[in-house]
Structure 1
Amino acid sequence: MGLVANIRRDIRFASGLGRLLKRIKPIELDSPVLLPDDFEEAVDKFADNVAIEDEHRSLTYRDLDGMANRYGHWAKGRGLRRGDCIALMMTNRVEYIAAWMGFSKVGIATALINTNLTGQALGHCLTISGAFQVVADEDCWRAVEDARPFVNRNLMLWVLGLKEADEASERRGLDKAVRGGSSVRPAKSGRDGMTNRDTALFIYTSGTTGLPKAARIPHSRARTYMRAFAGCTGSTETDRIFNCLPLYHSTGGLVGIGPALLNGGRVVLRKKFSASSFWPDVKSSGATMFVYIGELCRYLVNCPPNEAERDHKLKLVFGNGLRADVWPEFQKRFAIPRVLEFYGSTEGNVSLFNFDGKQGAIGRVPKLLKSQINIRLVEFDLDTEQPVRGSDGLCRPAPLGTVGEAIGLIGQDVRHDFSGYADKAASEKKILTDVFKKGDRWFRTGDLMRQDAEGYFYFVDRIGDTFRWKGENVSTIEVEQRLAEAPGVSEAIVYGVPVVGYEGKAGMAALVMDDKFDPAAFSAYVDAQLPHYARPAFVRLIKNADTTGTFKYRRVDLVADGFQPGKVEQLYVRHAEKGYAKLTQAAHKAILTGETRL
């Protein structure tokens, strides 16, 4: 029976892998066929189909292409040249995709800026992008203006929907400037000499430490993201892909649009996720698929019943991070026929696909194809946070069923390429050498996984100083740096703590105070300095901060203490509207039962 089951799994895997490889096999790193060429091919084939819709408008493939062309001509008209970069900070809307696609048509890279960022973190991202021009909308431009003091050069800010009264010498409205451009495609000769190795996008990731890093997304990687899911989802021109994930992330911005825009289907774009309106919107839009992150699915499961939650046309949902304890109820309650879970990182070269819907698994590699799939698990030392090496100096493979760090072989083709970050030093830190033989080079994912005897992989945890909360990576070091400047704070230690009923970990800050702790003042500070997902859910006050011999904070004991009143003294919890208040036994119980939401 086990043999038959494995054969069936292998057949399903081979079928899914075949659909995927059919779309990405032709991509060559030195080819001059780039991302906009893939898009224009779809436009020419499906010109009259609706390509994208948001809450306000819909565009056919022809219209979307025309809008993208106008953005491309506008960029050239600003004196921007091939290889330059424009920073894009805009909420989900049809213009978002048109803008960066148009810039790619004239060889200009786009830095996709997280719309939650403010202040120093935003200034840092704008600085490392290298951009002198910023494109924003009416929801985001003020944050850019506030971040100017943290940017090391002058910025010209262009804003969609800007009122004439708000224009200034370094801030101009963009609507008329773009509409006045030509809708004719920019000449391909403007991309002469470019290959798939050239940068199409910068997508920011917190990594494991420090401020956000700009992951360099060459045309090869962007095309691979879009083509892979255009293939493995089996989408066609009749499909409508519901996408309420932020377009500045690779899951929403590339994975979530490829199945539609390369196959003639429709992207149903929404500004943001709303649990209460999600199912009515999926139903009314006629969506046949939607792209998820695990947090979205958990929110939906925790919502009260909605009369539209099973009255839909969905045939598949695809995404990453769907927890094993959420998956069964999510799929059964909402009558989801198929779930396609995948694993991948914005900057990495390791990808996994769970083609047969094994609940809880992030992917599978059959034994017969192990040598063909770009992933290995190596034994890992949790104390040193480094792979274990044997007496020969090489790494040791993690045995089946044990936890190890996932790594991916670096090579000179699309599947093995590691394009890294804008910062070369940061890129080098992610490369592991002399792994299984002298001279080999592997990408460190920073993720701990285990593999079972049937070939399924399971995500265990993230290495280092990053935890995930509300669908975002939170860098403890970045938050610590901001909190250390809060009024009255001498030292801050930030870490994540698991909370029953929540995906990821909630942020907790242990503070050493110079003066009396003022909950209201502290709350006002974090609201002003940190995006919503990075604001600590819990605060505890401590007398001193223990460090290791290398002066790193000892978080292990703090994490073990959790947020249990009685066990932890001087403990506070954050309420969205009321700020921080003492965490009582009753309040603690309300959090665990779900009566109070963090």
Structure 2
Amino acid sequence: MLVFEGQSYTYADVDKISNRIANFLLSQGIKTNDVIVLVISNSPQFIWTFLALRKIGAIPSLVNHNLQGKGLIHSIFICEPCMIIIDNYETIQQNIYNVRDQLVNIPLFVVNTQEPTSQVTLKEPRWPLLDPLIKEASDEPISPDYRSSLTLYDKSCYIYTSGTTGLPKAVNVYILKSLSGSAFCSLIGNTSDDVIYLALPLYHTSGLIIGLFGAIESGATAVLKRKFSASKFWSDCCEYNVTHVPYIGEFCRYILTQPDYPHQKSHKVKTFYGNGLGRDIWQKFKEKYNIPKIIELYGSTEGNCFLVNLQDKVGAIGRLSPLMNMFRPNKMYLVKYDLDTVQPLRDKNGRCIQVDKGEVGLLIGKYIPEFDLQMYKSKKDLDSPKIIRNAFVEGDKYFNTGDLIYTDDDYFAYFSDRIGDTFRWKGENVSTLEVANVLRELDFISDANVYGVKIGNFSGRAGMASLLLSNGNHLTEEQLAKIYVQCKENLPSYAVPLFLRIQTIMDLTGTFKLKKISLQNEGFNPKIIHDPLFYIDHSSECYTPLTENIYLKILIGHSRL
């Protein structure tokens, strides 16, 4: 069963509608391995259009429907599509309309994802509406012959990286990975009696593979939301008797910021599963909402490293032990790294150096020859920067996750930071996650986004924290002093933030990850930042408002930090 905005569809309904779309696309000349761009929000239309494409062996390219301008055009063209299907949602139509002159040679259809009876308004009258064309198509089942040539090593779809460090990259998602991801949900106990809450974007791996595919694999009921709403979360769970909730990034943290809901403990949710649940809120989240089990996992759309914490060990992303590596074909190791090159350090023989337990290392995963497939769809070589060769023996090949991990005495693994987020100050590496977690311990701070900023000709980057307050955007002198004490008592001196910025809303990616690039580029300049800014004042043991005059003194080194 699929439930969406008051409408319910059985699996048989979805199957028949996807057959209609598939038969229509066949009539338009679409064939196996043709690429169709989907710019569609979370909706039943996304699901049955995706399934229709897979029935005929075509490849859906899942473009983030929030993109516009250069990022949107780049994402559309990189996969060389022969058709585009877009949502009739007003902002999506507008974004496509703004770049329409560059899309004149690609057939484009609009699908109605709003109320079934609503009048569809087209931004461009020449764009054909797909819905009436589908109704006229046959719902006869699609012959498996259209897929007979496909193997596990063929593409299932294209999913795009979030583009936090540049333009999105199209990741080749192979059938093997799609099947493995959906099978994971059976491993954690999903059955046809369960109700899975799908609020993550379907254009992303977690929403599509761990969420939707997992529901289909087990025959569960899927409660689909157009977008995540923290304020409506528990009321939805109680209304639909939700039992399983996939999550990602800041998903759980935003639920915690909401006022108490009368039935937030009297629900039927059995399991939260996903990645990115902060260690600092894990136990609080579990106890406040009476969550029986949390399953934290680690992986990436393009990578070959996968870990899962099935023991409900607080903060852990799985286990990484020498014994497990003996039986694991794609072995994973934590190695010493160079922060500047984002590459492993090598010993005198040119080999990678494994770290000790408790020491932060770069996670790398060995490629198995039969699964050594191209990561990104591109005319340029985008794979090589992610590849480590001759790591331990001549000729071996490893995937560089770019993630910093450490293990405890029992070999439970914990996420430390993205190597690109970690920065160097006073010759030391600063973990942005460590600093953020220390700041989040203060009851008046709802969230913290930590990053490094340049100061004139100083080497390295100084720590800066953008804060989201629990109430309003004003910090009292007492609170500023508490932040100073909290950081000084819980962080090494080089990791204490030198600057604070107060924001009323945190800028997130479509997958609930904090954006840092724009904040880094703005630095701590009060001329271009209108949010309240503060700098560390050791003489008063407090953070003090940052004025333009003080800003200039800092740049020329006349103000001690």
* TM-score (ref. length: structure 2): 0.76
Matches within 5 A, 1:261-272: 261-272=216-227
Aligned to 2:212: 257
- Are positions 1:273 and 2:228 aligned together? yes
Distance 1:366 1:379, change over 3 A: closer
Aligned to 1:18: none
Aligned to 1:156: 107
The 3-state SS of whatever aligns with 2:383 is helix
Matches within 5 A, 1:36-51: 50=1
Q: Is the 8 A contact 2:463 2:499 kept in 1?
A: no
Aligned to 1:392: 349
Note the alpha carbon deviations across 1:114-153, whole angstroms, 9 max, x for none.
Answer: 122111111111111211321111222221222345x577
Distance 1:283 1:562, change over 3 A: closer
- Are positions 1:53 and 2:9 aligned together? no
Q: Is the 8 A contact 1:113 1:203 kept in 2?
A: yes
- In structure 2, runs of 5+ residues without a counterpart are 114-118, 424-431, 468-474, 485-496, 508-527, 536-541, 546-561
Aligned to 1:348: 303
Q: Report the number of matched residues.
A: 468
Aligned to 1:100: 50
Which of residues 11, 15, 21 in structure 2 aligns to 1:71?
A: 21
- Are positions 1:195 and 2:195 aligned together? no
Aligned to 2:138: 182
* 1:179 shift after superposition: 2.1
Note the alpha carbon deviations across 1:235-289, whole angstroms, 9 max, x for none.
Answer: 1110000111111110011101233211121111111111111101100001111
Distance 1:80 1:437 in 2: 46
Cα RMSD, aligned residues only: 3.3
Q: Is the 8 A contact 1:570 1:582 kept in 2?
A: no
The 3-state SS of whatever aligns with 1:216 is strand
The 3-state SS of whatever aligns with 1:171 is coil
Aligned to 1:436: 392
Distance 1:590 1:575 in 2: 22
Aligned to 1:450: 406
Aligned to 1:116: 66
Distance 1:56 1:437, change over 3 A: same
Distance 1:184 1:71 in 2: 11
Distance 1:169 1:294, change over 3 A: closer
Which of residues 217, 222, 237 in structure 1 aligns to 2:178?
A: 222
* 1:155 shift after superposition: 3.0
- Are positions 1:144 and 2:96 aligned together? yes
Q: What amino acid is aligned across from residue 316 of structure 1 in structure 2?
A: T
* 1:568 shift after superposition: 7.8
Aligned to 1:238: 193
The 3-state SS of whatever aligns with 1:256 is helix
Q: Is the 8 A contact 1:245 1:272 kept in 2?
A: yes
Distance 1:279 1:569, change over 3 A: closer
Which of residues 577, 581, 588 in structure 1 aligns to 2:530?
A: 581
Note the alpha carbon deviations across 1:11-53, whole angstroms, 9 max, x for none.
Answer: xxxxxxxxxxxxxxxxxxxxxxxxxxxxxxxxxxxxxxx2x11
* 1:417 shift after superposition: 4.4
Distance 1:387 1:56, change over 3 A: same
Aligned to 1:38: none
Note the alpha carbon deviations across 1:546-593, whole angstroms, 9 max, x for none.
Answer: 59xxxxxx6x4243587899998997857699x96351569x9999xx
- Are positions 1:323 and 2:278 aligned together? yes
Distance 1:454 1:61 in 2: 44
Q: Is the 8 A contact 1:292 1:320 kept in 2?
A: yes
The 3-state SS of whatever aligns with 1:236 is coil
Distance 1:300 1:387 in 2: 38
Note the alpha carbon deviations across 1:38-75, whole angstroms, 9 max, x for none.
Answer: xxxxxxxxxxxx2x111142211111111222222222
Q: Is the 8 A contact 1:167 1:173 kept in 2?
A: no
Distance 1:435 1:410 in 2: 11
Distance 1:378 1:96 in 2: 41
Aligned to 1:376: 333
Distance 2:152 2:544 in 1: 53
Instruction: Give the % identical residues.
Output: 32
Matches within 5 A, 1:404-553: 404-413=361-370, 417-423=372-378, 425-464=381-420, 498=436, 500=440, 501=445, 505=449
Distance 1:249 1:590 in 2: 41
Distance 1:357 1:217, change over 3 A: same
Distance 1:508 1:581, change over 3 A: farther
Aligned to 1:62: 12
Q: What amino acid is aligned across from residue 331 of structure 1 in structure 2?
A: K
Distance 1:123 1:459 in 2: 34
Distance 1:234 1:569, change over 3 A: closer
Distance 1:441 1:502, change over 3 A: farther
The 3-state SS of whatever aligns with 2:176 is helix
* 1:428 shift after superposition: 2.1
Distance 1:105 1:582, change over 3 A: closer
Aligned to 2:288: 333
Q: What amino acid is aligned across from residue 134 of structure 2 in structure 1?
A: V
Distance 1:378 1:73, change over 3 A: same
